Structure 1
Amino acid sequence: MVAKIIHDLSDLVQLMLKGLARTKAWQRQLAGHLEDVDRLLQVLRMTIAMENAHDEIAGAAEAVAAACRRAGASLAGSRADSSSLQAMALIGKLGDKLRAAFASLP
């Protein structure tokens, strides 16, 4: 389940980055936040692959979730289109699921 969440979140972030025009200020800001999420997902993958302590993995997952929340919050008050808003809501939910999944593991 955790692997699917990571995969889905990574795919959605990549699709958003690929399809996001960077002509408006909110688009450039969102792209920066999404690049942070992508980078933190890479850190999480490496932390898991290196079989680090559970606390380190949970911390990396929390960092991903926080970056997802920041990315979503960056759209507050913007003129973002509804599909971008919906995609960011889904990214936020996936980030929260990821954090919860690692918090519940022993």
Structure 2
Amino acid sequence: MTFSANSLKILLATGLLLVGTAVAAQDSAGAGQEMYNKLCSGCHSATPAAMKGKPVDALVAGMERVKNLSNAAGAAARMQQTVQGLSPAQMKDIASYLNQMN
């Protein structure tokens, strides 16, 4: 099988993009682990079985739901207070960390 110069360039660019995406995801998960351990693990445990491996978007949506509750009480009120101070990027970092847990 032979490749043209353009095909090789496209293949190399695609590989570099995939590597860059993987590194960014690891950085995001690393920041998320630090925030999760500091802000969330006290209530959710260090290894929250119900959240491990879930899709990032679903985890962020759950945090957004709690953030926007109108009459939160008890544990939901405590979580709401915590997530109120988080930016969308920080919530995504925490979700990325949880998503990568096995």
TM-score (norm. length: structure 2):
0.34
Higher helix share: 1
Larger Rg: 2
Larger relative contact order (C-alpha < 8 A, sep ≥ 6)?
2
